[in-house]
Chain A
Amino acid sequence: MKRTLPLIITFFVGIVMVGEFFIPHYGYRMLTDEFLQWGLVLAAAAYLLGIVNLIQVNIPKITQRKPDWFYKLIMLLSLAITLAIGFIGGQDRQVEGAAYRWVYSSVFTPLSATMFSLLAFYIASAAFRAFRARNLDAGLLLGAAMLVMLARVPIGENLPYIGEGLGHLMNWIMDVPNTAARRSIFIGGALGAIATGLRVILGLERSHLGD
């Protein structure tokens, strides 16, 4: 039963949700909306479990003084303080000047932006490795990348004689080979998703149940 019940539920809900593509009646859509609402409620409730997991994973590391335990303490304290400020702020926590809003805009947002800005350096180091012309494929990649990069910066656009042509070449690379490759990945991915969906709905795929 522990195996069969999830399979029955998956089959039933899966068929109902696929049916939405073919049954446009608003009564049916209300039913599928109801399922989606249940999903949202479950996902929201899981945040509580997420907090429990954070505490369960990090408290032992703090008490046992595992490496970098101090950062875990800061993380749990930040969680507790932000929660407390949010609860104290109540419905007005997002208004201008509220402490919660300050935490979000002056602490959280800059930290996120810092992480994101690392991407620039990682792109540089990854590009250095990717653009080594070791074989024909890598040489083509390097050539295409150099052309596109050059055409996208003002110095490339303004090059005498070839600036305009460079722009057209870049547009062709982006619009023709690049778009064709992206679409082929998209179509293949969509078909793979259909096949995976069918496997799960029909109960053929049971990896998630341990089979």
Chain B
Amino acid sequence: MNTARARNCARCLGAALLLLGPVATAAPPTDLRSEAPIYGGGLEMILSWTPPPDDLIGYMLLRGPTASGPWKAIEPIASDAIRHKARVVSDPRREAVPETVFFRLVALRADSPIPALVPGEASDAAAAESEARYVDSLLATGDVSAPVESRTRAYLVNLTPSRVMLALIIIAAGVLIGVFTRAARRGAELYIRRIPGIDAIEEGIGRATEMGRPVLYVPGIGELQEMQTIAAMLILGQVSKKVAEYQADMIVSCCIPIVREVADEVVKAGFYQAGYPDAYKPANTRFISSDQFAFTAGTNGIVLREKPATNLYLGMFFAESLILAETGFLNKSIQIAGTAEATQLPFFVTACDYTLIGEELYAVSAYLSRDPRLVSSLKSSDYIKVFCVVMLIIGTVAASLGNPLISTLFRIAE
């Protein structure tokens, strides 16, 4: 494994074949500084520098264990950068994380040494040797900054204001869920506004039963770890139970194989739970293709051949949304769609009978189940939404007056 990595590294960064003609020495980058950010976890350093005044084509970052080397070319950096996030080791699984590491920055110009490809069949030693020659040639240009010492620091907890805020919101959501669940168990009625699109799901299943045609369920084309796909699987649990109770047929069309496997288990569990395990048909949960448009063509084929009475498009959709929904429209199916992809919502709104917008997608499962524990989670997210709206208003006013406190509290990206 190390052999392949070393060869790849050498192949990418190049080596050997220096253009060892007369090299013009110009000003190197200066004032190279290093800082260990909290989020770096001991693996990442933030480097900043003052660029040389003349035109560059980029930089090459060098890393070494001591101020005198040996140096290793780590990665190229764009010419307009003045800050860069650098790793202190390439792979912490294979290398020990040092307490101290040194960086140097080489300014690359049109006449700087260029890396050459190392043949794949070259030995490790040859690859390492050619890489070392490349680094030496870079150092020989003189366009290199002084080494900067970087002390790695792995923080155990990130207590920046934005992370504390996020933790507080999660804790508040958990506490509110507990409070509302207790209230619901004591008999308090938790009001949730009526969502016609969700009510229509049961009507759609009833219509399919009356017409003797199947329900088509499409959980989008997102990977299983996407929250919208997870929501689609949760809804599928409720929908499959209803379909089983109505003794209708349901076809699930999947784009990702692992989503199909999970969907199959969910549908099976739904049919068992409803008391109709015999009605469950494994062949109705289908993997079509992992390519977006091949999947679209296959699903459209199902719509045109098997003529489902109700189409449910719930999950993560992209360009295929309108192709699917228009085909369903031509088939005269009742169509209910739900996605948090803002770019696809207009297509669904146009072509479907009901559309669940953004957060409504995440509310379907709780809404259909009417389980007090789940409904309480909807109530808690409503209260947090109110809090966010208030913070948005205060933050807008504060930012307009030049106070960045609120925006700092909600800034997650680092």
- Besides the known contacts A122-B323, A196-B227, A210-B272, 4 further A-B residue pairs in the complex with CB atoms under 8 A apart: A50-B257, A122-B326, A196-B377, A198-B173
Residues of B within 8 A of A (CB): 38-43, 92-93, 97, 154-158, 163, 166-167, 169-170, 173-174, 177, 181, 223-225, 227-228, 230-231, 233-238, 241, 256-258, 260-262, 265-266, 268-270, 272-273, 282-283, 285-287, 290-294, 296-297, 301, 305, 319, 322-323, 325-326, 340, 342, 345-347, 349-351, 357-363, 365-366, 369, 373-374, 377-378, 380-381, 384-385, 388
Is A191 in contact with B258, judged by CB distance below 8 angstroms? no
Is B41 in contact with A28, judged by CB distance below 8 angstroms? yes
Instruction: Give the distance in Å from the alpha carbon of A169 to the alpha carbon of B360 in the complex.
Output: 31
- Contact of A99 with B by CB under 8 A: no
A60 CB contacts on chain B under 8 angstroms: 283
- Contact of A185 with B by CB under 8 A: yes
Is A126 in contact with B347, judged by CB distance below 8 angstroms? yes
Is A25 in contact with B227, judged by CB distance below 8 angstroms? no
Say how far B46's CB is from chain A's closest CB, in angstroms. Answer: 13
- Contact of A43 with B by CB under 8 A: yes
User: Which residues 13-49 of A sit at the B interface, judged by CB distance below 8 A?
Assistant: 18, 21-30, 39, 42-43, 46-47, 49
A28 CB contacts on chain B under 8 angstroms: 41
Q: In the complex, what residue of chain A is closest to B39 when comparing beta carbons?
A: A24
- Contact of A150 with B by CB under 8 A: no
- Contact of A187 with B by CB under 8 A: yes
Question: Known contacts A50-B290, A53-B287, A210-B273: does B158 contact A198 (CB below 8 Å)?
Answer: no
Is B235 in contact with A194, judged by CB distance below 8 angstroms? no
Instruction: Give the distance in Å from the alpha carbon of A42 to the alpha carbon of B20 in the complex.
Output: 50
User: Which residues 96-143 of A sit at the B interface, judged by CB distance below 8 A?
Assistant: 108, 111-112, 115-116, 118-119, 122-123, 125-127, 129-130
A-B contact count (CB 8 A): 220
Q: In the complex, what residue of chain B is closest to A27 when comparing beta carbons?
A: B154
Is A194 in contact with B169, judged by CB distance below 8 angstroms? yes
- Within the complex, which residue of B257, B374, B380 is in contact with A205, where a contact is CB–CB below 8 Å? B374
**Can you spell out 27 A-B residue pairs with CB atoms less than 8 angstroms apart?**
A24-B155, A24-B157, A28-B41, A47-B257, A49-B261, A53-B257, A53-B287, A68-B305, A118-B323, A126-B322, A126-B350, A129-B350, A182-B342, A187-B385, A191-B359, A192-B340, A194-B170, A194-B381, A197-B230, A198-B173, A199-B374, A200-B234, A202-B177, A205-B366, A208-B233, A208-B237, A208-B266
Question: Known contacts A49-B257, A196-B227: does B358 contact A186 (CB below 8 Å)?
Answer: yes
- Contact of A63 with B by CB under 8 A: no
Is A185 in contact with B342, judged by CB distance below 8 angstroms? yes
Q: In the complex, what residue of chain A is closest to B295 when comparing beta carbons?
A: A115
Instruction: Give the distance in Å from the alpha carbon of A199 to the alpha carbon of B174 in the complex.
Output: 9
User: Which residues 156-211 of A sit at the B interface, judged by CB distance below 8 A?
Assistant: 181-182, 185-189, 191-200, 202, 204-205, 207-211
Q: In the complex, what residue of chain A is closest to B267 when comparing beta carbons?
A: A210
- Within the complex, which residue of A24, A30, A112, A185 is in contact with B340, where a contact is CB–CB below 8 Å? A185
Total count of chain A residues near the partner, CB < 8 A: 65
B167 CB contacts on chain A under 8 angstroms: 22
Is B326 in contact with A53, judged by CB distance below 8 angstroms? no
B380 CB contacts on chain A under 8 angstroms: 195
Is A46 in contact with B385, judged by CB distance below 8 angstroms? no
B342 CB contacts on chain A under 8 angstroms: 181-182, 185-186
Instruction: Give the distance in Å from the alpha carbon of A187 to the alpha carbon of B357 in the complex.
Output: 12
- Contact of A90 with B by CB under 8 A: no
Is A54 in contact with B92, judged by CB distance below 8 angstroms? no
Is B224 in contact with A43, judged by CB distance below 8 angstroms? yes
Interface hub of B236, B262, B350 (most chain A Cβ within 10 A): B350
Instruction: Give the distance in Å from the alpha carbon of A150 to the alpha carbon of B358 in the complex.
Output: 29
User: Which residues 54-108 of A sit at the B interface, judged by CB distance below 8 A?
Assistant: 54, 56-57, 60, 67-68, 71, 108
Is A192 in contact with B362, judged by CB distance below 8 angstroms? yes
A182 CB contacts on chain B under 8 angstroms: 342
Instruction: Give the distance in Å from the alpha carbon of A127 to the alpha carbon of B319 in the complex.
Output: 15
- Within the complex, which residue of B42, B227, B273 is in contact with A197, where a contact is CB–CB below 8 Å? B227
A205 CB contacts on chain B under 8 angstroms: 234, 365-366, 374, 377
